[in-house]
A and B are shown apart, each in its own frame.
Chain A
Amino acid sequence: MHVHRYEKLWLLGGLLMLVAFVAVLSIAALSEGFIPPSNVQSIDPTKVAQTPPFDHPGLRKIGDHAYEAYYVAHIFSFDPATITVPAGARVTFYVTSTDVEHGFSIPATGVNTMVTPGWVSTVSHTFAERGTFLLVCNEYCGLGHHTMAAKVVVQ
């Protein structure tokens, strides 16, 4: 098979790009810890209301400026609808769904995960600035999807 010299150089360039992409990805994932939410913790979706801690959804203080927030997503709302934390709080969200697939996203923060019935999603974020953050469902979940939202108030 004849391969033109220019094409060999061009493909070598492509190959180097491939190596560079994989290197950047590996450094980001393995050394910097940029890993998408991959909790792999299962839960019986029909018994969420009886399974602690999701039987009492809400905010728990676990340390100085450290919080855990347990959310139940269902069509078309989040429980709790509002949480309030002080500025500088690091909040770890634990979310599960009792019905269909939902999304869990706070725009302009790193908080973004799918909420799949049968699994507990987790994602953490430090709220440095004061304000009211909108928490939205960003995965189509039915005819009321666009109304599904909650609030995170940072004081």
Chain B
Amino acid sequence: MTPAENGAATIWPKGESFELSREKGDLLVLTHIYTATLVLGVGALFGVLQGFSRANWIEMPAWFDYYRMLTAHGVLMALVFTTFFITGLLTYATYRSIPRVRSVRLNWIGYCVMLVGTVMTALTILSGNASVLYTFYAPLKASPYFYFGATLLIAGTWLIAADIIANVVWFKRQNRTLPIPLPAFVATCTMTMWIIATLGVTAEMLILIPWSLGWTSGVNVSLTRMLFWYFGHPLVYFWIMGAYVIWYLVVPTTFGGKVFSDALTRVAFILLLLLSTPVGIHHQYLDPGISAGWKFLHTVLTYGVVLPSFMTAFAIFASFELAARRNGITGFWNIVRRLP
């Protein structure tokens, strides 16, 4: 080990115990990822059709209007594809770093709830009863099934989060003195951030569902917008943290390398968790109902993301370099040329 490798850590623990009920877990994870990929394909198709239709290269039939297609594209890509992919990825990170004979039932139930929610939302959009785009700003009103479906999608992710946290709790009970394995730690961090963020959109749903059913006559428009962006910005961090899981854990693994620093990886994820709120108002600069002071505060807090971003940029390239040096590759151009 060279001095530069101080603190560099192996990412995935090794041992026979990893084969324990591995098939069940792999099937589960692959189902999440394949579902995400399928949704990505369908969402992309709507995106291409929408682009062609906007450019007047094709004419969509009158019964399939532009905004319906745009809503389907936005919801499938931004909300559904990303969510299935990340729940699959985090489940993988947790299962592969915590060896045990485990039940995967709770995670499967979560997956099924997410799937039912997705199908309900997608059918409502495609039937033309929810052309509200993926921001669904009230008082633009969708059919109650749109809001029910979206709520089920979120409820399902909470069950996945519960499964991940249950595995981490099991690990801590078995190994009181050991730190939580890095992949399970970052999965827990990401899911904690997600639970906090989705409380906002769930609160919004509790306002929109009775209104959509006709039980209440109006909504507080500014409140629903604020609740949406309380969720909407951390949603972006959910994507980022998913990407970070790949950059910090998966990419170095493909080099047979190590993560540059176990501790700093944990710090980066904790920083993102802390900085995920309150920042949502920077999506509402032009809202007349929010005073300039709040807009300023949220802008400053949003800039805080500079720190985990810089840490990550450094750590990724440092782990490339460490992997190269271990293989005897030195010199900038040699590293660029010879790493996969």
Contact = CB atoms under 8 A, between A and B. Distances in A.
Interface in A38-63: 38-42
Which applies to chain A's interface (DSSP): helix, strand, loop or mixed? mixed
Interface in B108-158: 131, 133, 137-140
Contacts of B57: none
B318 A40 contact: no
Interface string B205-233: 00000000000000011100100000000
Contacts, number: 123
A114 interface: yes
B295 A11 contact: no
B103 to A, nearest CB: 36
B307 A39 contact: no
Interface string A103-136: 1000000001111111111100000000000000
Contact of B288 (A7, A13, A25, A114): A114
Contacts of A143: 65, 67, 131
Contacts of A119: 222, 287-289
B52 interface: no
Interface residues of B, number: 42
Interface string A9-28: 01101110110011001000
Tell me which of A7, A13, A103 has the highest count of chain B C-beta atoms within 10 A of its own C-beta. A7
B296 interface: yes
Contacts of A11: 307, 310-311, 314
Contacts of B225: 101, 116
Given A13-B310, A100-B140, A117 B304 contact: no
A14 B307 contact: yes
Interface in A67-124: 99-101, 103, 112-122
Q: Which 5 A-B pairs have the closest CB atoms?
A: A14-B310, A121-B288, A119-B288, A36-B285, A38-B292
Interface of B: 4, 6-7, 65, 67, 131, 133, 137-140, 220-222, 225, 261, 263-264, 267, 284-292, 295-296, 299-300, 303-304, 306-307, 309-311, 314-315, 318
Given A4-B318, A25-B300, 11 more contacts: A1-B263, A1-B264, A11-B311, A29-B296, A36-B295, A38-B288, A40-B288, A40-B291, A103-B286, A116-B225, A119-B287
